[in-house]
Amino acid sequence: MSTYSDLVLDGEESDILDRMGVYGTKTYPSSPGQCVECKGNDLKALEILGALNKPLFWLCRGCGYLHMIYTREYTTERLMKAEPLFTHPDFWIKNGVD
């Protein structure tokens, strides 16, 4: 198991997943095997502390792209559960997301 540093969020985006650089609705219940962004094949299951006790994303260790495992709606719901644990809560409450 590896531990990564805090996710970096773009405070200008309005949607919580947009802020993480996750766009669209495509999901990957099992690993896509290859990053859809950079075509790299170093993908790891990424668990978000406080959101869910199992991985929410397949993280590309080459470019950092996050592939959603669950639907956008469910992923957002789980991420919002982790909101109090984020170290930059300002990014989470800007632009009307609550």
User: Which residues here bind Zn ion, judged by CB under 5 A?
Assistant: 35, 37-38, 40, 60, 62-63, 65
- Cβ(76)–Cβ(64) under 8 Å? no
Enclosing H/E stretch for 57: strand 57-60
Nearest distance from residue 93's CB to Zn ion, in Å? 29
The first and second tokens of residue 23, run together, are 């766009």
Closer by beta carbon to Zn ion, 34 or else 71: 34
Nearest distance from residue 21's CB to Zn ion, in Å? 11
Closer by beta carbon to Zn ion, 37 or else 77: 37
Which DSSP symbol is given to 17?
H
